[in-house]
Structures are given as C-alpha cells and as structure tokens.
A and B are shown apart, each in its own frame.
Chain A
Amino acid sequence: MRLINKKLKWHDRVILGALPFIALVMTYATASYLRRIDNPADKLLPSLEAIGNAFWRMAFVPSPRTGDYLLWSDTLDSLWRLGTGMTISTLLALLFGIAIGFIPHIRSTLAPFIASISLIPPITILPILFIIFGLGEMSKVMLIVAGTAPIMIRSVTQAVLDIPREIIIKAETLGASVWQMITRIVIPTTLPQLITALRLGLVPAWIFLISAEAIASTSGLGYRIFLVRRYLAMDVILPYVLWITLLAFIIDRLLLYISKRIFRWHHLSGESL
C-alpha cells in the first residue's frame, strides 16, 4: 500500500499529534535545566515548576495590589474587547460583503476602495485612531475592527460572487425581487463562508488585541504580558501565552463545530482543518 493511502487508527493519530508537543516541552525543560545550572534564578527559561507556580498565583491568588484574580480579570477584559470588535467586524462583513458582491453599483463604488483599505497596516495609523476614538476601550475595539473588517468583507464578497449564476437566474425566472434573492439565496449560502471569514479574522484580531493592550491600558492579557516583560518575568509570560493559545483554539473549534452543526450541507465533501 502506498504511504498516502494509509488510514491511521485514532490512537496512532493522537500519539503522532502529541509528539511535537512532547518534543517541545522536553526541549524546553532541558534548555531551562542547562541555563539554571549557570544561574539558578535564570529569568529567560524558568523551570516548569516556576511556570506552574506563576500560573497558580495569577489564577487563584488575589493580587496584593488590587485584590483581583489577575488571570480572570485580564481574560474577561480581553475577551470583551475581542468579542465586541469581532461582532462589529462580522456585521460589517455581512452588510458590505453582500452589498458589494450582489449590487453592481455598490461593487464599482466600494470594491477598489475596500481592497486598498484592507492593505493598510492599521498599526501605522494608530495616532489617527487615538485622536478619533480616544485612548479608552473604544480605540482598542476599533483597532481590531480596522484590522479584521476589510479582509472579512472581501472574503464574504467573494462568497457572494461564487454563488452559481444559474441559481440567481432561476430565482429571477420565478419572479424574485432583489430583496427576496438576498434574504432567500445570498444570505443562507454565504453564512458558512462568514463563519470561515470570522475564523480567519480571529488570527489578526488576537494580534491587534494584544498590540492595542500593549499601547495604553490598565488591564487585559496583552497589558499583563507587556508589563511583566519589563522585568523579564517569563514565568508569567509563558503561561499567559499558553492561555491565549488555548482560548484562541477553543474559540476556533467552537466556531467550526457550530458551522458543522448548522450548515451540515456545507461540510459534506472534503475534510476541514
């Protein structure tokens, strides 16, 4: 049998999937051990135990300064910003994506504009965002929107353009109005693509969230990481990074699950990662 046709048993898949993670942890543990022979208080690669302790301290011991459980209050604040930003981006993507994809006049007006806008790295116009939206929560949410909405609009537009022309013609033959076609054909067929766009948009969204919190903030996951970076507290940074990765992974899987449950027809053929 050829290599590519081999079907792996589920436990083999789990073991193979776990391998790189185990290798990473082992590499880390050894490197950390070697560095700590030179300097037992090494801050760059603290021991796994120190990382565990730091995680415990951030999650379950109230901060002496504020009395908050830092990990949870940071997580809550960050997720609020991320959630608000992505909700706005999703709504914008749906609205503009359909309008641009379906109505020729709007497409001619906005498509080149959105395509250009989506290429501007939002970080570079940060001072302008500050002046318009202030330094508070609003500017952080807007940075996420600015970073994700244009590309999400473009992928929804593409999804609308990909609707087979025959279906539209069929609907027109049956006397459907533009509005009817939008509500009965365009929206239902593009919704799964919207979820895909959302999942892809979450990648830059996290980056912009963390950068926004690094710039001016009093709480949040990114704030904490950039604050403790000032004294190289990798024992706090590493568990925060793992935590962010885990959160991002869970949100991504959740969206995939929702998509598979609601739009079963969209997932009929092919595997999805």
Chain B
Amino acid sequence: MRPMKNHFIKFLCLAVIFTAATFSSLTGTTSALAAKKKDFKVCWSIYVGWMPWGYLKDSGIMKKWADKYDISVDIVQINDYVESINQYTAGAYDGCSMTNMDALSIPAGGGVDTTALIVGDYSNGNDGIILKDKKSLADIKGQKVNLVELSVSHYLLARALDTVKLSEKDITVVNTSDADMIAAYATKDVTCVVTWNPLLSEIEANKNATKVFDSSQISGEIIDVMMVNTKTLKDNPNFGKALVGAWYELMKIMSGDTKEGIAARTAMAKASGTDLKGYDAQLGTTKMFYTPEEGVAFITSKELAKTMELVAKFLFEKGILGENAPSAEYVGIQFADGSVYGDSKNVKLRFDPTFMKMAADGKL
C-alpha cells in the first residue's frame, strides 16, 4: 500500500498548490485597493483623445512628474476598450480612460467608487450615424442598424431618434463588433451604421454614405475622462497630482504648433495608425480641454448634471445599471458643487475639480 499512499499525498499536494495559485490570482487583485502605496498603474486604449497617455509614458513626462512626488506610475495600453474598463473595475488598475457613460455603467454600477480626475475632451463629431443611399435621419425608420450595442454609439442613436420622434421600436439594432464595422458596411445587408472615429471617417469616405447625425449635435454629452479609484486617490493625493501635472504639461506642448508640439502629435498619430494630417482631422471633431481652466469650467457647469441624468436614464432603460437597480437614481453621482443626482447613500461616481484646479492655480 505504501506506493499508493505516496501517490495520493503527491496528488493532494499538487491539488492544494494549484488551488492556492488560482485563488491568489483571483483575490490578489484586490490588493490594488490597499491604502498607502507608491506604485500605481493606469490603463488606456486607442482613441484620439487618449493618445496623450501613450506619449506621456514614451516621452518620460510621466516619469518626471512621478519622481517629483516620489511615486511610480505605470501607463499601460490595452487593446480592447471594454476589457480595459473591466480590468479597472476588477481592481487590476488604479485608473482608466473611459467615457462618462461607461464609467457610470461598469465601475460605478459595479460598486467601485470612481472619481473623474481629468476631463480630457468631449466628442464633437467623433461619433456619428451613417446611412447608405439615404440622405436624412428620418429615413432610418424600419432599417437594421449595425452598432456596438450598449456603447456610446447606442446612446447617440437613442438621442438622435428622439430628435425625429422615433424610438428604438422603429428600428432593429444589430450588435456588431467595432473591429468588423468597416467590413460589415461593405456588405449588401448593412444599410446603417453608428460608430466612432477613425472608423467613422473611413466609412463616410464611401460614395453611398451620408452622415445624418453626429455627436456635435449633442455636444458635451459624450465625455472622455481619466477615471481613478476614489479610495486610492483619497489615500494617495500624490497619485492624482502626478497624473494631472503630467497631463497638462503635455497638453500645453501638443496644443501648439511648435516643433515639440508637432513632434508629439506626429508620434500620437503614428501610434493610432494614421499620419499627422489624419490625427489633426480627428482632433478637429474632438473638443480637447487643453488647459486645466477649461476642464474645471466644464466640470463645474450646470449642463453636466443634465447630461448625466440623460445618461443614467438611458442606462436604466437598457437594464445596464444592474438588474437590481429599481430606478435610474440607483447610483448616486456627485458633482463639483457637492450636489448629488440619484441616491446620496450610494454615491459611486464623482466629478471632482480639486486636482484640475490645483493645476490651474499652478500649485502642482
């Protein structure tokens, strides 16, 4: 019987090791929420308004600011936008670039208290609806509409339908991966797509394509933000200071047509798979907040609360605020003046101008 016992024990040991390994990898990520720390990680994905994050890392500007506050900040590019938000929500990153809508539905809706640290830009034509062989938005009635369901495209569509007194019942939404949008448009069955840049301009270049609605008609509603974990930020204000300081230093450089500015934009253009001309065109349909003052002004404006209410209602109608959400007010959203939309006992999304203000006042 001896050999068998040996086998059994070996087997048991292996099983325990394996279980422990799985276990630590599943729970280990929560350690990202630990109080005082020195090493931080933020993630971003390719989008015109977020390309500076990649450049911050490559140019060493981030390191300069992190050194100033005696911390380290790792900036990681993730190829899949939704995956980057999911990773942040799961606790693998301390911050992540995302839109106001996805911040409300994924981390905030998932109970992760999240703060808008840097409001970088809003889409001012970067998202749009394209019809094939038809010229006006009202023609969308009865069509199949290809888009990434439950994304900002879906929100844009809902807002557009409102303007022509139609509702989603009048169309059929076909969930289509953004990676295949251009190929999908080339097929016969696809007559209408809703998508974002650079796909949008690529599809619009087709002869039979007409852009019938874009985000400049709901300007300021699709906002691109660096979202960070509220608790991490509260425990480590230096993390916030370093990110904001680095960001606005680069904003100042890239907004100008100096040699450095052009070099920065060229590098970002290259990283997003286009050239300087293409990237500048995309910046043209993006309202960038190049100065901290602009960011502060936007975040403290009254319109923001109205926008977030529209977004919360949209998410609730689509059932994305969580199945146990009894109303659109389920998740509380706090604004710069301290007012709260929704449940004040369940505030999970905060628009906080403190750090951008420090940059504006030159206190970093």
Q: Which A residues form the contact surface with B (CB < 8 A)?
A: 3, 6, 23, 27, 30-31, 34-35, 38-45, 53-54, 57, 64-65, 126-127, 130-131, 134-136, 214-218, 223, 226-227, 229-232, 235
The stretch of B20-28, B129-137, B218-226 in contact with A is B20-28
Q: Contact between B30 and A215 (Cβ–Cβ < 8 Å)?
A: no
Q: Is B261 engaged at the interface, CB distance under 8 Å to the other chain?
A: no
Closest to B182 in A: A127
Q: How far is the CB of B29 from chain A (nearest CB, A)?
A: 8
The 3 closest A-B pairs by CB, nearest first: A41-B111, A127-B183, A43-B110
Q: Mark B69-99, 1 if CB is under 8 A from A, else 0.
A: 0000000000000100110011100000000
A134 to B146, CA, bound (A): 13
Indicate which residue in B3, B15, B189, B322 contacts A134 across the interface (CB closer than 8 Å).
B189
Q: Contact between B23 and A130 (Cβ–Cβ < 8 Å)?
A: no
A54 to B110, CA, bound (A): 15
Q: How many interface residues does B have (CB within 8 Å)?
A: 46
Indicate which residue in A3, A27, A218, A230 contacts B172 across the interface (CB closer than 8 Å).
A218
Q: Known contacts A3-B3, A30-B23, A136-B189: does B183 contact A40 (CB below 8 Å)?
A: no
Q: Contact between A130 and B110 (Cβ–Cβ < 8 Å)?
A: no
Closest to A127 in B: B183
A31 to B24, CA, bound (A): 8
Q: Contact between B106 and A3 (Cβ–Cβ < 8 Å)?
A: no
A27 to B174, CA, bound (A): 38
Cβ-Cβ contact count across A and B, 8 Å cutoff:
118
Indicate which residue in B90, B110, B172, B319 contacts A65 across the interface (CB closer than 8 Å).
B319
Q: Which B residues form the contact surface with A (CB < 8 A)?
A: 3-4, 7, 15, 19, 22-23, 26-27, 30, 33, 82, 85-86, 89-91, 105-106, 109-112, 146, 148-151, 172-177, 180, 183-184, 186-190, 319-320, 322-323
Indicate which residue in B22, B26, B110, B176 contacts A232 across the interface (CB closer than 8 Å).
B110
Q: Do most interface residues of chain B lie in helix, strand or loop, or is the interface mixed? A: mixed
Q: Contact between A27 and B184 (Cβ–Cβ < 8 Å)?
A: no
13 contacts between A and B (CB under 8 A): A27-B26, A35-B26, A42-B111, A44-B89, A54-B323, A127-B183, A135-B184, A135-B187, A216-B177, A218-B173, A230-B150, A231-B109, A232-B106
Q: Contact between B27 and A35 (Cβ–Cβ < 8 Å)?
A: yes
Q: Contact between A126 and B26 (Cβ–Cβ < 8 Å)?
A: no
Q: Known contacts A39-B112, A41-B322, A45-B26: does B175 contact A223 (CB below 8 Å)?
A: yes
Indicate which residue in B19, B90, B189, B322 contacts A135 across the interface (CB closer than 8 Å).
B189
Indicate which residue in A3, A35, A41 contacts B30 across the interface (CB closer than 8 Å).
A35
Q: Contact between B4 and A131 (Cβ–Cβ < 8 Å)?
A: no
A64 to B317, CA, bound (A): 10
Which residues of A are found within 8 Å of B172, using beta-carbon distances? 218
Q: Contact between B323 and A57 (Cβ–Cβ < 8 Å)?
A: yes
Closest to A2 in B: B3
Which residues of A are found within 8 Å of B90, using beta-carbon distances? 43-44, 232
